[in-house]
Structure 1
Amino acid sequence: MSLTPDHRIVITGWSRLLRIFIPVGLLLVLVGCQADTPPNSEDSVPRARELVDLRSRVLGYTAEFRADSPYRPPGKAQRARLAKAVGSLLSGDAQDAERQLAPLGLGLTRLTDTDSGRRYDEIAATGGGESTRWGRLYLNADSTVRWNAQVPHPVSDRDTEALGVRLLEQNPGGALVLAGAHRRAGEDGAADVAHREDSAFQAIVVELQKRGVPGVQLHGFSDSSDRPYDAVVSTGAVETAPAEVVAMADRMDDDGLRVCRAWNARCPLEGRANVQGRSAEREHAGFVHVELARHARADDGRDAEEAADALAGLVAAWTSGSSS
C-alpha cells in the first residue's frame, strides 16, 4: 500500500469547484456590467427618418390653414398623453414617445434638413384626422434644447410662422412649437391657443416650461394710428424683465425700431392674459411676448433683419446660460 498522498482526489475536487464557481462569477460580472450600461442608444433615435427642406415642410403645412376650417381641441387624457410623449422625447426616450403618440394619430420623425444638414425631431400627425389641426413640435436633435419659439397664430399673424422657422434654423439649441390651425378656426375661439388652456400647443409648452426651457412667443400686428410702434415687448404676466430681454429691446431700439417696453410703460398688445405667459410664471420659466409690425417680421420687411438679429441675440443668451 502506497503512503503517497493521492493528489488526484484533491485536484479533482478543486476542479469541480472551479467548474461551478467560475461560470457563476462570470455571470455575476456580466450582470453587473449590464446594470452599469446606459440604455440602448437606439431608444433615443426615432425610427422614422426623412430628408426634407425644413422651411418648406413647415410653411407647406401652414399654407393649408383657413379661418373657416373645423377644429376641435384634444381632450384632457389626450393632452396628458401628448405631454408624456414630449417629456419622454426630451429625456432621450424616443421609443416611449412613439408609443405614447401612436394612439393620438401622431408620429415622431427624425428629419435632416437638406439645406443645412442639421437634424430635427418632429412630432406631427400621421394621417388626416383631428390631430392634423393640433399643431407640430420641432426639436433640434443635434444639441440640448435650451429655448423655444412659439407661434400660436400662424397665417393669422402673417409671417410669424416663417420667422419661427428662421429662428430655429439659424440658432442652435432650439425648438419650434407651432399651432395647427388658423386662429379663427372652429367655434367660439377654440383655436386661439394663446388664450386657451385646452390645446396641444399649451400641453407642449408647459412640458418645456417644467424643464426650465424659456420661450419667446411671436405675434404680429397691423399698422394703425393707436400703435405707433414697430415692436411691443413684454414678459406676459410678469411685470419685470430680465437682462437678456432688456438687451433685446435695446438692440431693436439701437437699430431704429420703435419699441414699447411693457415693463416700463403701458403698451398695446402686452399679452398679460396670455396663457403660456401665466403658466411660465407658475413654472418659473422665462417667457417673452413679442409683437411685431409686418415690416419687422416679413422676409422682405425693411426692419425684418434687425428684428431677427435681436431675437437671435435673445436665444443666444438663453443657449449660453447667460440669462438672469
Structure 2
Amino acid sequence: MIRSRRTLLSVVGVVLALALALTLLLMPAAGPAPQTSGPVPGTGLDTLVTEFTAALSADQAYRPPKAGERRTAAAGLTALLDRRDGGDFRKLGFSVQDRVDAATGRSYTIATNEPGTERAWGMYVIDRSAPPSLVVEVPHPGFDLRTELFGVDLFRRVPGAVLLVAGAHRKADDSHADVAHEEDSVFHVIAAALAARGLTQVQLHGFDDQNLASTDIVLSSGAAAAGGAAHRAADRLTAAGFAVCRAWADRCTGLEGATNVQGKAAAENDTGFLHVEMSRTVRDSPQHREQVVGALVDADPGKP
C-alpha cells in the first residue's frame, strides 16, 4: 500500500515537472536585459565620427539652442567630465554611452545629438584614461573635409583629451550653424566651459590650396597672443616638411582665426588656443595626417 502511494506520488511529481517545463517554454520571451553601467565595446570611434559627419549637409535641419538649452548643455558636459550622470544632455535629446575604443583599448564617454532633427548640436567625446587634458575641436565637419579624421587621431594620441565635433554643416540654417563664429551654439558653450576649466583648445580647419598656394598650414592663436605652444607647433610642423604661415608674424590671407569665438573665449579665460588651418592637399593624405598629428602631439599644446 505504501509502495503504491509512493508510485502515485512519483507519477504526480513527474507530471507537475513536465507541466512547469512546458509553461516556461510557452511563456513570451522577456524584454532585453538592462544595459550595464560599464563601458561597452562596439563600432570604432573613427567609424562613429565619420558616419556622423557623412550625414551632414548644407540643407539639413538646424536651429540654434535657446539660452536655457545652452545652460543645460554646459551643465551636462560638466557632469560628464566629473563622472556624474548625463541626464542634462539627455534632456536635449542626446544619447550618452560609455564605450571602449578598440584602437587604443581606452574607455571613453560619448554624447551624440538627436539624429535627423533640428537639434543638430554635436558629438562630444571624453577620454577616461586620464584627467581632462586637451580639447580637440572640429567645428566644420562635412565642409572642411577630413578634419574629423585629424580630430580622432589627435584625440587618440592624447590621454584625457576631449573631442568636440559640430552637429551641423556650417552652411545650414543660412550659416547660423557655423559654430566657430556663433556664440549661441552648444558647441561654443561647451568649448567655453572647458576653457574656463583651464583646458587648451586645438581647433582644426581646412582651406583650398589656391587660397594660399605657397602654404600647407596656417597656425594662429586666434584673439590671443601666440604662446609657447604655437611656436613649438610651428617649429615641429616646419621640421616635418610643411610650409607654415605663422599668423603672429605673417599675413595669412584671412585664415588667422582672429574672429573665432572659441578663440575669444580662450583669451578671456587666459587659456591656450591653437587654430590650425590645413590645405586640401594636406587633408587628403593619410601620410600627411600622421605627420601633422605627430607634430602637434610633440609640441605638447596643453603646456604654455
Superposition TM-score tier, normalisation by shorter sequence: 0.7 to 0.9
Q: For this pair of structures, how many residues does the alignment match?
A: 268
Residue 263 of structure 2 aligns with an amino acid whose one-letter code is: G
- Pairwise CA distance, 1:298: 2.9
Q: How does 1:252-263 map to 2 (within 5 A)?
A: 252-263=237-248
- SS at structure 1 position matched to 2:231: helix
Tell me which residue corresponds to 2:251.
266
- SS at structure 1 position matched to 2:296: helix
CA contact (8 A) 2:108 2:127 kept: yes
Residue 280 of structure 1 aligns with an amino acid whose one-letter code is: A
Superposed CA RMSD: 1.9
Tell me which residue corresponds to 1:286.
272
Residue 171 of structure 1 aligns with an amino acid whose one-letter code is: V
Residues of 1 paired with 2:130 and 2:211: CA distance? 44
TM-score, with structure 2 as normaliser: 0.83
Residues of 2 paired with 1:225 and 1:59: CA distance? 26
- Pairwise CA distance, 1:56: 0.4
- Pairwise CA distance, 1:304: 3.0
Residues of 1 paired with 2:91 and 2:240: CA distance? 49
Q: Does 1:157 align with 2:135?
A: no
> Can you list the C-alpha shifts for 1:299-319, whole angstroms capped at 9, x where unaligned?
436x333222111223x352x
Tell me which residue corresponds to 2:102.
114
Residues of 1 paired with 2:264 and 2:233: CA distance? 21
Residues of 1 paired with 2:212 and 2:88: CA distance? 47
- Pairwise CA distance, 1:50: 4.6
Residue 261 of structure 1 aligns with an amino acid whose one-letter code is: R
Tell me which residue corresponds to 2:26.
none
Residues of 1 paired with 2:39 and 2:93: CA distance? 15
- Pairwise CA distance, 1:85: 1.0
TM-score, with structure 1 as normaliser: 0.78
Residues of 1 paired with 2:147 and 2:293: CA distance? 11
Residues of 1 paired with 2:294 and 2:51: CA distance? 25
CA contact (8 A) 1:135 1:201 kept: yes
CA contact (8 A) 2:141 2:169 kept: yes
Tell me which residue corresponds to 1:81.
72
CA contact (8 A) 2:39 2:98 kept: yes
Residues of 1 paired with 2:231 and 2:115: CA distance? 43
Q: Does 1:58 align with 2:49?
A: yes
Q: How does 1:202-281 map to 2 (within 5 A)?
A: 202-224=188-210, 226-238=212-224, 240-268=225-253, 269-281=255-267
Cα separation, partners in 2 of 1:99 and 1:300, compared to 1, 3 Å: closer
Identity in percent: 37
